[in-house]
Structure 1
Amino acid sequence: MTSVSSQPQFRYTQPPSKVLHLRNLPWECTEEELIELGKPFGKIVNTKCNVGANRNQAFVEFADLNQAIAMISHYASSLEPAQVRGKTVYLQYSNRQEIVNNKSTGDIASNVLLVTIEGVEASDVSIDVLHLVFSAFGFVHKIATFEKTAGFQALVQFSDAGTASTAKNALEGRIIPRYLLPEHFGPCTLKINFSGHTDLNVKFQSHRSRDYTNPYLPVAPSAIDGSGLAGAGLDGKKQEVESNVLLASIENMQYAVTVDVLHKVFSTFGPVQKIAIFEKNAGCQALVQYPDVQKAIISKEACHFCLSTIANF
């Protein structure tokens, strides 16, 4: 039988402790995933998630020392390593006998929320729907969506922890309004924790990530060709969920279209917050952001004619 010391999964340098140190965890590993990993061996009474430089380490505390020993012993002799989301997790006893901080990352107030949307697939709920839901509580800076073992998840960034706390308290356990989803959908429940992040790194606007503070960020082709970046397009194509951001396509251009020209047109129907212009398929398109959905709807309905003559301004 292979000795414990030769197992690369372990660092057998600490005396037994109720607290185990876990390394090589997936990004944004949750407390629930850690509890699930330790459940066969006993009751986990405390956790500390997302620690270390890469936020891929954690500590778990069992109720009894023998439970922690059982987990270490099991994986030391097993051919199957401990895994979370398919990643091998490295285990060792911690040099601490208890986790002093009784709050996991998910309990510490942050300006970024980790949202799990239960009962849906990743393509079922658009980023625009999430933006509409969370914008009711304050200005949403950024959103990034992704798929994990826990399901379809999103990181939603607000300007401060207070605004994020308000949104979390109001939406935790609630369902997304049915009128925002297709008729055949069942209830989509929101499960919300605080994230350990404070500023999301969004490199481009797409149907999976969005930075509402940077109108000049590059736009991924999939954002237009796929589910659509804006909630309502002005080019007569696929109708999307209503949003406070419009996607405008200017066809048959004879002269250059500038931000000032677009602002002159769209501000007729309400205060324009941001405008971003980019080229797509040799044409000109723009993102126009209003403070609310209603003003965007009014502008959309009125601007079909304006866009056809915009080059004459």
Structure 2
Amino acid sequence: MSSSAGQPQFRYAYPPSKVLHLRNLPWECTHEELVELCKPFGRVVNSKCNVGSNRNQAFVEFEDLNQAISMVSYYASSSEPAQIRGKTVYLQYSNRQEVVNNKSSGDVASNVLLVTFEGVEAGDVSIDVLHLVFSAFGFVHKIATFEKTAGFQALVQFSDPDTAASARTALDGRSIPSYLLPEHVKSCHLHISFSAHVDLTVKFQSHRSRDYTNPHLPVAASAMDSSSQFALGPDGKKKEPESNVLLASIENMQYEVTIDVLHTIFSAFGTVEKIAMFEKNAGLQALIQFSDVSNAVTAKGALEGHCIYEGQQ
């Protein structure tokens, strides 16, 4: 059997082994997904996920050699390829006889946490709420959210494994406070493990991903979907979940607006921790992070629709 790209699904470079090498896996594939794929053929006793330069490979170890042979033989003759999340998975015997250092178990410390949310759907928890919750334990570099078979999940990157471990210890099994969630959400439980990633790639500031270390990234249009947005102009108000981060759109700019100018304006309402400015559609936007939600709410109420300079909206 061959893939559409002409790549064989099976390579017999090594003799049969109870350890199989899987390639072309979906991004951040989990141990649970591998077990689900292998379950019809036998019991997986260990796995190693997210290996290789693109982190799209894995090793699975069956309890018995015949179970691994059964899986390879089945897919070698089947008209349907092995698949996870719609992606064809390529199989081969490994030269390993056992799998060690199972990072998918969540026991190997990393500076990046994999967060699985129970009781919510994508969009129920904004990226600003995640930033607020996890920033209590240290500086959050990046956040990326996504949907998988396990549900709504997020990757949260800290500066170092110790900070990530502190956040995991404090939050794993806990719930996000209800006042940070939409009214229809009854509860949101967190299941947290260490990720195999060490540095997330964020190309746009958006409602799904955020890089708090790079002020030069462009802002995707979807960033407004989950931010506490307000416009310094005559636009109508949009009801959004409250958070400590505001997204400001500066319209009809007649004079230069700098980070220092924005810091002076917003500092009147509380401690401003970070400001990032972006150009979008020939306009200017900024993310302003306060030390707490109440200061951000006060600033939003006082400044929305007002002028920065006289004669300018």
The verdict on a shared fold, with TM-score over 0.5 as the criterion, is yes
Deviations 1:215-265 (A, max 9, x none): 3321112223xx143x35355621222222222344565433232222222
Change (3 A) 1:266 1:21: same
Q: Is the 8 A contact 1:274 1:288 kept in 2?
A: yes
* Residue pairs, 1:110-125, within 5 angstroms: 110-125=110-125
User: 1:271: Cα distance to partner?
Assistant: 3.0
Q: Percent identity?
A: 74
Q: Is the 8 A contact 2:48 2:60 kept in 1?
A: yes
In structure 1, the residue matched to 2:4 is none
In structure 2, the residue matched to 1:289 is 289
User: 1:70: Cα distance to partner?
Assistant: 1.8
User: 1:270: Cα distance to partner?
Assistant: 2.8
* Residue pairs, 1:124-273, within 5 angstroms: 124-224=124-224, 227-229=225-227, 231=228, 233=230, 237-251=237-251, 253-273=253-273
Change (3 A) 1:55 1:248: closer
Q: Quick one: distance in 2 between partners of 1:253 and 1:52?
A: 48
Equivalent position amino acid for 2:195 in 1: S
Q: Quick one: distance in 1 between partners of 2:118 and 2:55?
A: 25
TM-score by length of 1: 0.87
TM-score by length of 2: 0.87
Change (3 A) 1:203 1:78: same
Q: Is the 8 A contact 2:144 2:209 kept in 1?
A: yes
**Count of aligned pairs between the two proteins:** 304
Q: Quick one: distance in 2 between partners of 1:102 and 1:282?
A: 48
Q: Is the 8 A contact 2:103 2:196 kept in 1?
A: no
In structure 2, the residue matched to 1:310 is 309
User: 1:209: Cα distance to partner?
Assistant: 0.9
In structure 1, the residue matched to 2:66 is 66
Bigger mean CA deviation after superposition, 72-81 or 44-53:
72-81
Q: Quick one: distance in 1 between partners of 2:304 and 2:50?
A: 49
What runs of 5+ residues in structure 1 fail to find an aligned partner? Answer: none
Bigger mean CA deviation after superposition, 215-224 or 274-283:
274-283
User: 1:83: Cα distance to partner?
Assistant: 1.0
Change (3 A) 1:84 1:309: closer
Q: Quick one: distance in 2 between partners of 1:300 and 1:179?
A: 18
Change (3 A) 1:69 1:304: closer
Change (3 A) 1:270 1:38: same
Bigger mean CA deviation after superposition, 110-119 or 51-60:
110-119
Equivalent position amino acid for 2:87 in 1: K
| CA RMSD in angstroms, aligned pairs only | 2.6
User: 1:103: Cα distance to partner?
Assistant: 4.5
